[in-house]
Amino acid sequence: MPSVTVQYDAAAASRLLDEVSERSGQNLKACYQCRKCAAGCPVGEESGVTPDRLIRTILVGDREAAVNNLLVWKCVACYTCGTRCPNNIQTARITETLKQMSKKAHAKPLRPRIADFHASFMTATKHFGRFNELEGMAIYETKTALKDLAKGDVKAVIHEMAGQMKLGFQMMKKKRMHFKLDRVKANGEVKAMYKKAKARSEK
Amino acid sequence: MKQLAYYPGCSLHSSSELYDVQCKMVFRQLGIELKEIDDWNCCGATAAAKTDDFLAVALPARNLGLADATGLGEIMIPCSSCYSRTLVAQKTITSDPGLKEAINAELGHKVKGDIKVSTILEVLLPKVRSGEVASKIVKKLEGLKPACYYGCLLTRFPVDVEATDDVENPQGMESVCTALGAKPIDWGYKTDCCGASASVNDADQSLLLMSRIVGDAAARGANCIVTSCPLCQFNVDAYQDKVGEQYGIAKRLPVYFITELVGVAMGLSATEMQVDRHLVDAMGLLKELNLL
């Protein structure tokens, strides 16, 4: 992360800290920047941000940088940072929280494909109660292709489709592709959970 | 025959159906019948955790309610992601009665939350330690040098739950492999992340992570990788050619499920276990070592 000068506003910083701490259940104030998390983070280098930096960004109250950085999106939820933290701070819970805060604020995800994948997964799971790989992938690939086409990036669409078709063909050859639809009989229960989740998140 | 509640999860009902087949075959051979819980739903995997805190607990909680209703006292979950989400949900509702109540209000089978949630290794290892596995071996896996690959979610959790193995250097699969006559190698990436769904939505990142895993296993002389997680297995198997091409790794390593090694050693048919359905050929090495 390039160094920037942040106008420190104590009240705003405290608001951001309280919000992230409460939603993630993590005590960010316990961080003393030992960077054990940074050493173990598998995506820190490519993100340009490590867990310790993310926590620091929140502590100084830079809301924009806290929500809009690659670590929030690229975090693979491997939980290495939190497992090694001497103060038991699970930064993966913080990235999950920031992602949800970013969505709530209708911010544009820095990595739309990652956001679209998780959204597609949840949509597919809601339909039948189980994640059907073909359905989930179809929802995801359609979303991705439409966005690429809207940008006029036909090459990206062709590249993505060619890659998926190659994998799909290999999977079919090895009988790893499944066409049977798996569904929950009492899916009303699953749908009721989704409804409740929506109501709770809007509170 | 002893019965155990069993949650296969979505992966074992689709691209990793072979793992479902093998689990049932191997445990039947070891005197355990896996009773799939009726009408289970998706655990929400990482997607729910990243998008909605309530669903991340509520989805696996419904399965816990179904599992509690079996009265079997223990449920085995072979997929590391399903296992982790279910265990975390159980821990979360136990410490948050309000949340438990909100979830139970929607459920036919209310979740009590006291069933023992087990990994496949937790069920397998006592059978190894008691000598039962050894007594059923018909073929020692001589010449097999597996890199035991655990991935993330078997030992690391977002909340405080006790890991069932050493967090940084787990040994469960090594114990199983050694009992089967194989010689597991020492290596540095056994608990590293393969990227999971990043192989689809952040491909370059995932390929880089997998290159370290496959590269280290190959460099240290492993002739195969063995795992118990269907997501790890699929990634390292299906994307290995791409990883190899992009990162200059010439060797291709079959990625076995732990059940395949136990099954082959106990004389179960590799074809019936669907070992021929891997993307990196997994039958060739077994043939070469006279294990078929």
Per-residue pLDDT at B36 exceeds 70 = yes
What would the mean pLDDT of B98-106 be, rounded to a whole number? 97
Alpha-carbon distance B239 to B77, whole Å?
Answer: 25
CB contacts, 8 Å: B54 with chain A: 193, 196-197, 200-201
Predicted confidence at residue A202, as pLDDT, reads 86
Token pair belonging to B211? 């290159």
User: Which one of B20, B21, B41 makes the best mutation probe of the A interface by having the most chain A beta carbons within 10 Å?
Assistant: B41
Predicted confidence at residue A56, as pLDDT, reads 96
- For B86-98, the pLDDT digits (tens) are 999 999 999 999 9
CB contacts, 8 Å: A187 with chain B: 41
What would the mean pLDDT of B70-84 be, rounded to a whole number? 97
Element (H, E) at B8: none
Alpha-carbon distance A77 to B193, whole Å?
Answer: 9
Interchain contact A187–B (C-beta under 8 A) = yes
Per-residue pLDDT at B82 exceeds 60 = yes
C-alpha distances out from residue A116 to A139, A140, A144, A196, B47, Å: 9, 6, 7, 22, 10
Interchain contact B44–A (C-beta under 8 A) = yes
Which residues are CB-neighbours of A53 under 8 A, at least 6 positions away?
A1, A38, A71
Token pair belonging to A71? 């670590």
Q: Please answer yes or no on whether A174 and B14 come within 8 Å at the CB atom.
A: no
CB-based burial, A170-187: b 16+ in 10 Å, e otherwise:
ebeebebbbeeebebebb
Element (H, E) at A35: none
**In a 10 Å sphere around its CB, with 0-12 CB exposed, 13-18 middle and 19+ buried, how is residue B241 labelled?**
middle
Alpha-carbon distance B104 to B101, whole Å?
Answer: 5
Q: Based on C-alpha coordinates, what's the Rg of chain B?
A: 19
What would the mean pLDDT of B197-211 be, rounded to a whole number? 97
Give every residue of chain A whose pLDDT is below 70, as ranges.
Answer: 1-4
Interchain contact A203–B (C-beta under 8 A) = no
Looking up tokens 């699929």 gives B234
CB-based burial, B217-236: b 16+ in 10 Å, e otherwise:
bbeeebbbbbbbbbbbbbbb
Residues A80, B158: contact at Cβ < 8 Å? Answer: no
For B14, the closest of A79, A116, A178 (CB atoms) is: A178
Predicted confidence at residue B49, as pLDDT, reads 94
Predicted confidence at residue A5, as pLDDT, reads 75
Alpha-carbon distance B141 to B200, whole Å?
Answer: 35
- For B225-261, the pLDDT digits (tens) are 999 999 999 999 999 999 999 999 999 999 999 999 9
| Phi, psi dihedral angles at B256 (to 5 degrees) | -85, 150
- For B146-175, the pLDDT digits (tens) are 999 999 999 999 999 999 999 999 999 999
Interchain contact A192–B (C-beta under 8 A) = yes
Provide the pairing of β-strand B2-6 with B116-118. unpaired
SS (H, E, C) B137-192: CCCCCCCCCEEEECCCCCCCCCCCCCCCCCCCCCCHHHHHHHHCCCCCCCCCCCCC
Residues B176, B262: contact at Cβ < 8 Å? Answer: yes
ipTM of this predicted structure: 0.95
Q: With H, G, I as helix, E, B as strand and everything else as coil, classify residue B234.
A: helix
For residue B43, give the chain A residue with the closest CA: A130
- Residue B74: beta bridge partners? B116
CB-based burial, B154-181: b 16+ in 10 Å, e otherwise:
bbbbbeeeeebbebeebbbbbbbbebbb
Distance from CA of A12 to the nearest CA of B (A): 25
Interchain contact A162–B (C-beta under 8 A) = no
Residues A17, A29: contact at Cβ < 8 Å? Answer: yes
Element (H, E) at B227: strand B224-227
Q: Indicate if the alpha-carbon torsion angle B171, B172, B175, B180 is positive or negative.
A: negative
A104-108 own/partner pairs: CB under 8 Å, 24+ apart:
A104/A201, A105/A67, A107/A67, A107/A68
CB count, 10 Å around CB of B95?
10
- For A25-37, the pLDDT digits (tens) are 999 999 999 999 9
Predicted confidence at residue A2, as pLDDT, reads 60
Which residues are CB-neighbours of A99 under 8 A, at least 6 positions away?
A72, A73, A109, A115, B50, B51
What single DSSP character describes residue B35?
Answer: E
Predicted confidence at residue A6, as pLDDT, reads 73
Q: Based on C-alpha coordinates, what's the Rg of chain A?
A: 20
Alpha-carbon distance B205 to B60, whole Å?
Answer: 29
Per-residue pLDDT at B64 exceeds 80 = yes
Q: With H, G, I as helix, E, B as strand and everything else as coil, classify residue A107.
A: coil
Predicted confidence at residue B113, as pLDDT, reads 86
| Phi, psi dihedral angles at B123 (to 5 degrees) | -85, -35
Query: How many CA within 13 A on the CB side of residue B201?
Result: 26
Query: How many CA within 13 A on the CB side of residue B142?
Result: 4
Interchain contact A22–B (C-beta under 8 A) = no
For A193, the closest of B106, B160, B195 (CB atoms) is: B106
**In a 10 Å sphere around its CB, with 0-12 CB exposed, 13-18 middle and 19+ buried, how is residue B263 labelled?**
buried
